Structure 1
Amino acid sequence: MYVIREKFFSIGDDFDVLDEHGSKVLHVDGKVFSARDKVVIEDLTGAEVASVHRQLVAMRPTYEIRIGGEKAAEVRKNLFTPFRDKFTIDVPGPDDLTMKGDLLDHEYVIERDGRDVATVSKRWLTVRDTYAVQVAEGENALLIIAGVLALDLALTREEKKHKDE
């Protein structure tokens, strides 16, 4: 299980991703905001292991995940999902992931072919403004965490856009 602070993009500072024991496992550089909504994920030595950035030319909110400098996935909002937002983590090949549930409230699952590969929830934690990401064994935790961060970027951007209207 990993713990991420909610609303980190509105604060705009760096933060750490913790494991279930409270130990730091990743560092997210939240100071690299630009027009492309980019964040950098670093390991404990400060080396970049992944990044997430918004693609500027896209019909719908789309974020690219790069792991080890290589494009690993795109996270995009599904256009026609009645009643609920739904996002896809489009990975090369046939193993796409779907994020569905209450995305705004951090209560959702990430599925592949109808099987849960991760669960995101605030209910497991007593610490305010944090949520947990439980990743199934054998799954790429870095990809899942980057996907969750991409979703947060997209939702924060959408929320800001509605406030500005």
Structure 2
Amino acid sequence: MKYLVRDKMLAIGDDYWIEDEDGRHAFLIDGKALRLRDTLELEDPSGRVLITLRERLFGFGFRDAMTLERDGKRLAVIRRKRMTLLRNHFRVTMSEGTELDVSGRILDREFKVEYEGELLALVSRQWYRIRETYAVDVVREEADAALMVAVAVCVIRMAEREREEGGAGG
């Protein structure tokens, strides 16, 4: 199932819908304003919070990771793994210890999410010609679609922040 995400919607305080490939509302991103750190909530169409995305700040405003929470408990932590000239790599460490690998051209919205070499989701702009939109294609039926969308939003946010702060991004 593909989910359509508008690209320039990540302003804190903004809310926006993520639609499925049939144009139905699948998830709502609720940007929580007036918080010390960036917080986004991924909700289902009925308003139930599925995943909370929090930016973790370390001394001097350095952003090291984003934390995903479900039902008030840590679900995963996303960190930069390594960087090459053309590709970014992020590691998603799940609370039970398993790891997902995110790699590709994050800033170009062309990357994949894998578990032990098996493709879970593919993020791409190629499927849609709508300006500033990308798709998260959850290719494994048993994969948690909300988690895949949250991971995509987080790694893009982290790569863009790094670029804005003068670091490399890709």
Identify the residue that residue 126 of structure 1 maps to in structure 2: 129
CA distance in 1, matches of 2:56, 2:149: 19
Task: Give the CA deviation at 1:153.
Answer: 2.0
The secondary structure found in structure 1 opposite 2:107 is coil
Q: CA deviation at 1:88?
A: 0.8
- Do the aligned partners of 1:12 and 1:31 also contact (CA within 8 Å) in 2? yes
Q: Does structure 1 residue 75 correspond to structure 2 residue 117?
A: no
Q: Secondary structure at the match of 2:165?
A: helix
Q: Deviations over 1:131-154 (max 9, x none)?
A: 000112111111111111111221
Structure in which a larger fraction of residues adopt strand:
2
Q: d(CA) in 1 for partners of 2:12 and 2:38?
A: 14
Find 1:113's aligned residue among 99, 110, 116.
Answer: 116
> For residues 72-96 of structure 1, what are the alpha-carbon distances to aligned partners after superposition, in whole Å with 9 as ceiling and x for unaligned?
1001111x43323211111133531
CA contact (8 A) 1:90 1:97 kept: yes
Deviations 1:36-76 (Å, cap 9, x if unpaired)? Answer: 22111122122222110111238862000012222110011
Q: Pairwise CA RMSD of aligned residues? A: 2.1
| Residue 10 of structure 1: how far off its partner (Å) | 4.7
Q: What number of residue pairs does the alignment pair up?
A: 162
Do structure 1's residue 46 and structure 2's residue 50 form an aligned pair? no
1:157 corresponds in structure 2 to 161
Question: One-letter code of the match for 2:108?
Answer: D
Seq. identity, %: 30
**Could you say what secondary structure the match of 1:55 adopts?**
strand
Say whether the 8 Å CA contact 1:32–1:40 is kept in structure 2: no
Q: Which runs of 5+ in 1 are unaligned?
A: none
Q: Using structure 2 for the length normalisation, give the TM-score.
A: 0.85
What's the offset of the Cα at 1:125?
A: 0.6
| 5+ residue gaps, structure 2 | none
Whole-Å Cα distance in 2 between the matches of residues 28 and 82 of structure 1? 31
Task: Give me the whole-angstrom Cα distance separating, in 1, the residues matched to 2:36 and 2:12.
Answer: 17
